[in-house]
Structure 1
Amino acid sequence: MNIFINGKKISRDGNDVYLIVEAGVNHGGDINVAKDMIRKAAEAGADAIKFQTYKAEKLASKNSPAYWDRTKEKSESQYELFKKYDAFWVEEYKILADYCKECGIDFMSTPFDSESAEFLNELMPAFKIASADLTNHPFLRQIAKYQKPIILSTGASTLGEIDEAVNVIESEGNSQIALLHCVLSYPTKDEDAHLNMIKHLRAVYPQYVIGYSDHTVPDPSMMTINTAAFLGAKIIEKHYTFDKTLEGNDHYHAMDHNDIKVFKNNMKIFNDVLGQYFKQPLEAEKQAIKYARRSLVATKNIVAGEIITKDMITWKRPGIGISPKHIDLVIGREAKKDIKEDDILTWDML
């Protein structure tokens, strides 16, 4: 099944990859920084930029423990972290959604409560749901009723839990679903990425678009998300920042606008080299077929009337004469005309 976001077709088995850069709250509550991130992401070629919409008191209790690398993000509780960055609400997201339209990039923001889901529904073409809400069935039901594509991360979930979530969404008449492999570990070590799970999700859910939400620290070639795309992920989501050196939970494992360019160029090369499925000689190979293949060639002067023996012929380039595969049809034949040493044999000589 295909899904459509803002008129863009995302095909389960197509070549194109839809890239969502996850700005989250890396703007630090500064609307101008957020707009600058939008502009640079659009210029670099990202398909969508996504934020996170929450209020700390709606999202976490004040006693909720941290579960991230405390050397990178020093907040002692989830509430403390979320409270630092929950500055944006309805008006700010309207501004950002409008600015995305100006820049030609899709606007998204993950809602973390019913109120934010309600007002974001008016602003964006699809919903991205965090892994932590995969088992939040009332919330899934609310979002499914909006009848928009739902991109659902599946971090830390069992197949049974994924099935339950999908059934909840489809029970509301919404089958526009994409499932993203994800690992809920910040940052995700390379050995914990387990990208083969993308293939597993594709096998278990052949009716859905499958993607990948990445939390690994990027390398210069963007190898992790390249590999995810090679394995069949058609939606890639990765955290995005304007400065990787900043402190904070989502800066140090994020891509920047230069990384976006690298990945998009990688995908262009990927699509260019994939080509057709059926094996056959190509137009680009015609010259090679003619000149790099071998022909039977005389190893000595052969007089008209002589019977061709094995020691009289060998095979050399180019391939414009009799192919070596026909050598048994040539040996024992009579030369119709004089053949000079190193002449390429053709059928009219025999």
Structure 2
Amino acid sequence: MEFTINNQTITRDGDFVYLIAEAGVNHGGDINVAKEMIKKAAEAGADAIKFQTYKAEKLASKNSPAYWDQTKEKSNSQYELFKKYDFFWEEEYNELANYCKECGIDFMSTPFDSESAEFLNKIMPAFKIASADLTNHPFLKQIASYDKPVILSTGASTIGEIDEAVKVIESQGNSKIALLHCVLSYPTKDQDAHLNMIKHLKEIYPQYVVGYSDHTVPDPALVTITTSAFLGAKIIEKHYTLDKTLEGNDHYHAMDPEDIKVFKNNMKIYNQILGQYNKEPLESEKQAIKFARRSLVAATDIEAGTEVTKDMLTWKRPGTGISPKNIDLVIGRKVLVDIKEDDILTWEVF
């Protein structure tokens, strides 16, 4: 099936991979930093930039425990972490959405409550729902009712829970659904990425586009998200920052603008090298077929009228004479002319 965001069509088996730079709250509450992130992401080639819209008191109780690596993010509770960065609201996101239009990149922000979903609906082409809200059926119903594409992360969920979420969205008459494999662990260890689950989701949900939301620490070649594309992920989301050395939960496992360029170049090469499906000789191989294959060659001088035996023959390049596969058709024939050692044999000499 097709899945369209801002006139950009994404298909299950197409070449195009839609990359979402997950800025989250890595702007630190500074609107100018957020705009710089938008500009740099657009210049690097990201298809969308996504923020997170919440107010700490709407999202977590003051007693909600931390579940991340506290050597990287020292907050002791979710409320404490979220309160650090919940400065933006409707006015700021309207400003950022307009700036995205100027820069030529799709604007998104994940809502975490009904109020933010309501005002974000006016300025976004699609909704991205966090894994933690996959079982929040009332919230899914609200978002599905806007009849916009829904990108749903599936971290820490069972197939049964995913089925339930999909049915909730479909119950609102919305079948514009994409499912992202995700591991809800910050950071995700390489051995915990389990990218084969992308293939599992593709098998179970043949009607939907499948993608990947990544939380691993990126290597210089962006191997993890590139591999996810090889396995069929057509929407890829990865945390994004301008500076990986900054303190905070989402900087050290994020990609930066240079990483975006690396990934986009990986995809360019990937699409170039995939080529056609049917196995057949290519135009670029014609010279090799002619000159790199072998021909039957005289292993010794052969006088006219001689009946050819196997020991009179060998095979060498180029492949402009009789193919070695026809050696049994040559043995026993009489030659019509004198043949010198190392002559390439053709049918005319018999």
Interval containing the TM-score (normalised by the shorter chain): over 0.9
1:277 aligns with 2:277: yes
Distance 1:297 1:190 in 2: 55
Post-superposition Cα deviations, 1:98-117, rounded to whole Å, max 9, x if no partner, equal 11111111110000011111
Q: Which residue of 2 aligns with 1:332?
A: 332
Superposition TM-score, scaled by structure 2 size: 0.99
1:15 aligns with 2:10: no
1:262 aligns with 2:262: yes
Q: Which residue of 2 aligns with 1:97?
A: 97
Q: Which residue of 2 aligns with 1:129?
A: 129
Matches within 5 A, 1:183-198: 183-198=183-198
Distance 2:259 2:63 in 1: 36
Q: Which residue of 2 aligns with 1:76?
A: 76
Distance 2:124 2:338 in 1: 81
Cα displacement (A) at 1:65: 1.0
Q: Which residue of 2 aligns with 1:149?
A: 149
Distance 1:299 1:158 in 2: 69
Q: Which residue of 2 aligns with 1:290?
A: 290
Distance 2:102 2:308 in 1: 78
Q: Which runs of 4+ in 1 moved over 6 A?
A: none
Structure 2's unaligned 5+ residue stretches are none
Q: Which residue of 2 aligns with 1:159?
A: 159
Cα displacement (A) at 1:2: 1.3
Distance 2:182 2:97 in 1: 26
Match of 1:179, SS state, is strand
Cα displacement (A) at 1:153: 0.2
Distance 2:137 2:217 in 1: 31
Cα displacement (A) at 1:91: 1.0
Distance 1:215 1:240 in 2: 11
Superposition TM-score, scaled by structure 1 size: 0.99
Distance 2:333 2:104 in 1: 72
Cα displacement (A) at 1:277: 1.0
Match of 2:297, SS state, is strand
Matches within 5 A, 1:42-121: 42-121=42-121
Post-superposition Cα deviations, 1:61-101, rounded to whole Å, max 9, x if no partner, equal 11111111111111111111111101111111111111111
Distance 1:188 1:309 in 2: 68
Distance 2:9 2:338 in 1: 66
Equivalent position amino acid for 1:188 in 2:
T
Match of 1:248, SS state, is coil
Cα displacement (A) at 1:307: 1.0
Q: Which residue of 2 aligns with 1:38?
A: 38
Distance 2:171 2:113 in 1: 21
Q: Which residue of 2 aligns with 1:238?
A: 238
Cα displacement (A) at 1:180: 0.4
Equivalent position amino acid for 1:221 in 2:
A
Match of 2:67, SS state, is coil
Structure 1's unaligned 5+ residue stretches are none
Q: Which residue of 1 aligns with 2:342?
A: 342
Distance 1:71 1:201 in 2: 33
Distance 1:94 1:132 in 2: 25
Cα displacement (A) at 1:341: 1.3
Post-superposition Cα deviations, 1:146-171, rounded to whole Å, max 9, x if no partner, equal 11110000000000000000000001
Distance 2:189 2:314 in 1: 58
Matched residue pairs, number? 350
Distance 1:58 1:299 in 2: 88
Match of 1:200, SS state, is helix
Cα displacement (A) at 1:312: 1.2
Q: Which residue of 2 aligns with 1:168?
A: 168
Cα displacement (A) at 1:338: 1.6
Distance 2:291 2:134 in 1: 60
Distance 2:84 2:306 in 1: 96
Match of 2:333, SS state, is coil
Distance 1:169 1:332 in 2: 76
Q: Which residue of 1 aligns with 2:227?
A: 227
Cα displacement (A) at 1:343: 0.8
Match of 1:322, SS state, is coil
Cα displacement (A) at 1:177: 0.5
Equivalent position amino acid for 1:4 in 2:
T
Match of 2:284, SS state, is helix
Post-superposition Cα deviations, 1:188-221, rounded to whole Å, max 9, x if no partner, equal 1111111111111111111111111000111111
Cα displacement (A) at 1:14: 1.0
Equivalent position amino acid for 1:130 in 2:
A
What is the RMSD of the two structures over their aligned residues, measured on CA atoms? 0.7
Distance 2:297 2:68 in 1: 72
